[in-house]
Chain A
Amino acid sequence: MDVLQLGSYTFSSRLILGTGKFSNATIMLQAVRASGAQLVTVALRRFNREQAEDDLFGPLSAIEGITLMPNTSGASTAAEAIRAAHIARELSGSPFIKVEIHPNPQHLMPDPIETYEASRILAKEGFLVMPYITADPVLAKRLEEVGCVSVMPLGSAIGSGQGVATAAMIDIIIRESGIPVIVDAGLRSPSEAAHAMEMGCGAVLVNSAVAAAGNPPEMAEAFAEAVAAGRKAFKAGLMQKSGSAIATSPLTAFLGANG
């Protein structure tokens, strides 16, 4: 069976859903169900133990068949992310942690140095670490070396909807990686998700594109179908791209002339 392997966990769905940005918890839960996602990320800063109505964790944890992956969005240093990871594990019981460290809250670009440091320590402590990174092939290998269970390079800036603008770098990361590569951030349309899967990504993570859609549950379903189609295409093996037509009188025909 074709499954996404993350540490000792396996998932048949290759669509991971983000949970911020929805207009209410009901719509968010409908979208999660419609997406068929088995892995869902939620920011620790949106856990609210004092006010159920404002809490994202409670309603998500009630859905069967979902593994929660808390994230450290809001942390700006490795130390903060590590503190957050410990609290998140205690509250959620999940071994997964999405390390998300963006020191600049304006553009939300991940800090490679802090992310590396936090991931190294958390992986050593036994967390299943999924770091959100810029599409940097060297950083991806460094994170694999320290025991991360996947790497999550950005397709483009969070919430930008610019698609897989980093495709050339992600292509290198996929070719070189021994762990699943998950495109996270920037996807706007299901076709972009399909494209990422055709490239060989292990999964994609989508939030804004679903939450900001006119009908989030329907869009979640569309993404699920696109991800499945993209994966199937990758497994089937895409035909080679050719930059030009094949000449009828090949330039190298002379090579055969004298054996």
Chain B
Amino acid sequence: MRPLPDWLTDNRDTASLAAMLAPDSSSSLEALAAESKAITLRRFGRTMTLYAPLYLSNYCSSGCAYCGFASDRKTPRHRLEPDDIRRELAAMKKLGISDILLLTGERTAAADFNYLQRSVEIAAQEMQRVSVEAFPMSVNEYHELAGCGCTGITIYQETYNRERYEALHRWGPKKDFIDRLETPARALEGGIKSVGLGVLLGLSDPVEDALNLYRHLRHLGRTYWRAGMSVSFPRMRPQTGGYEPPFPVDDRLLARMIFAFRIALPDTELVLSTRESAAYRDGMTGLGITRMSIESRTTVGGYDDPENKEKGQFEIFDDRTAKEFCLALRKKNIEPVFKNWEPAYNGPSDGNASTVHPEKAEPCH
């Protein structure tokens, strides 16, 4: 068994985050909220960047005990073909969406690297910013994906507790804890510009997981100094398979985590998805979160066919339309930002590239 990396026990700068997260912490939630709000306003202003997920495929080779798309679930499987993707993108664009997250399950023959790469190419022609949440890849594969217009990779460790991780991931390639841990580094090594990390809240001790997540971010930040980073706070939602989370995280603890991360990482993008209720998302607006998903569907596709009654990977909680959601943001004096990226900045991050190569071919036309 491969040993744990040193950074997972690096306590250099975890003390203040640990103090804020401790169950008997002396920092009041209200005080943390006020500090988090002030930092967010200074650094990000009165704005919220918006994105939407598009599930390309629900084929999967892994046996994650908590997932509605695990390979032993009887869910019907399919994938979007290029024309389906174009139709979905057109429907998403009508909603104003220009920042998109493409999702697949673990690597399968039906949804492999070539399929994903082709899908990224199509999406990059239509959307301003394309990120991917799929299976772990090699450095070369990430480099190719960046060349096709993928700027960000989201990859959650789910839990940093190795024992629990190995028990929950019953079979398949995702069972390898260390390989998963090394994936964000491979993405950055391959020239992906930003990585999104997170733990699936409910699977294991949330405070222990949060501290390890922080160590992971700091380690990546020191190693890949150009890396953009974001942190998500996904809480377990009811899903096909009916898994009951053994460590449920309540609203107050989730809020404490968001505020503490904002204070510990003032410049990092913090993400809250439609897994959370409208009331909770509205309440969090302006207090620390800077990026939210809208109009989410967790079925394969689903934007072009609103009548799709199929079950998704998990249940959406905040099902407001983009219009309704933006109205709520504006009521809180926050501007919804649909485009906060420019495709001119696409392409693999080349490290110390101080020379300009105008003759270099544009990637993937």
Contacts and interface: CB of A to CB of B under 8 A. Distances in A.
B349 A76 contact: yes
A46 to B, nearest CB: 7
A36 B221 CA distance: 41
Contacts of A46: 337, 339-340
Contact of A45 (B227, B339, B353): B339
B45 interface: yes
Contact of B355 (A45, A75, A117, A161): A117
A242 interface: no
A105 B45 contact: no
Interface string B216-231: 0000010001111100
A82 B356 contact: yes
A108 B267 contact: yes
Given A22-B45, A212-B41, A105 B98 contact: no
A87 to B, nearest CB: 6
Contacts of B96: 51, 53-54
Contact of B194 (A47, A105, A113): A105
A73 to B, nearest CB: 9
A208 B221 contact: no
A117 B356 contact: yes
Interface in A1-38: 20-25
Given A74-B345, A84-B342, A161 B357 contact: no
B42 interface: yes
Given A79-B356, A87-B344, A161-B42, A106 B338 contact: no
A61 interface: no
Given A79-B357, A103-B226, A22 B339 contact: no
A44 B42 contact: no
Secondary structure of the B contact surface, majority rule: loop
A78 B341 CA distance: 17
Contacts of A24: 330, 333, 335
A107 interface: yes
B211 to A, nearest CB: 19
B325 interface: no
A78 B46 CA distance: 29
B335 A159 contact: no
Contacts of B47: 20-23
Contacts of A78: 353-356
A113 B43 CA distance: 25
A183 B93 CA distance: 39
Nearest to A209: B42
Contacts of B345: 45, 74-76, 80, 83-84
Given A76-B349, A78-B356, A45 B340 contact: yes
Given A106-B268, A160-B42, A212-B42, A50 B342 contact: no
A45 B330 contact: no
A21 to B, nearest CB: 2
A27 B349 CA distance: 36
Contacts of A68: none
Contacts of B41: 212
A114 B354 contact: yes
Nearest to A114: B354
A142 to B, nearest CB: 14
Interface in A144-176: 158-161
A114 to B, nearest CB: 6
A48 B98 contact: yes
Nearest to A84: B344
A121 B355 CA distance: 11
A208 B221 CA distance: 25
Interface of B: 41-47, 93, 96, 98, 193-194, 221, 225-229, 265, 267-268, 330, 333-342, 344-345, 347, 349-350, 353-358, 360
10 contacts: A45-B340, A48-B339, A74-B345, A78-B356, A103-B349, A106-B228, A114-B353, A117-B354, A118-B356, A158-B43
Given A76-B193, A160-B43, 7 more contacts: A45-B340, A46-B340, A47-B342, A54-B98, A105-B267, A108-B267, A208-B45
Interface of A: 20-25, 44-48, 50-51, 53-54, 74-80, 82-84, 87, 103-108, 113-114, 117-118, 121, 158-161, 207-208, 211-212
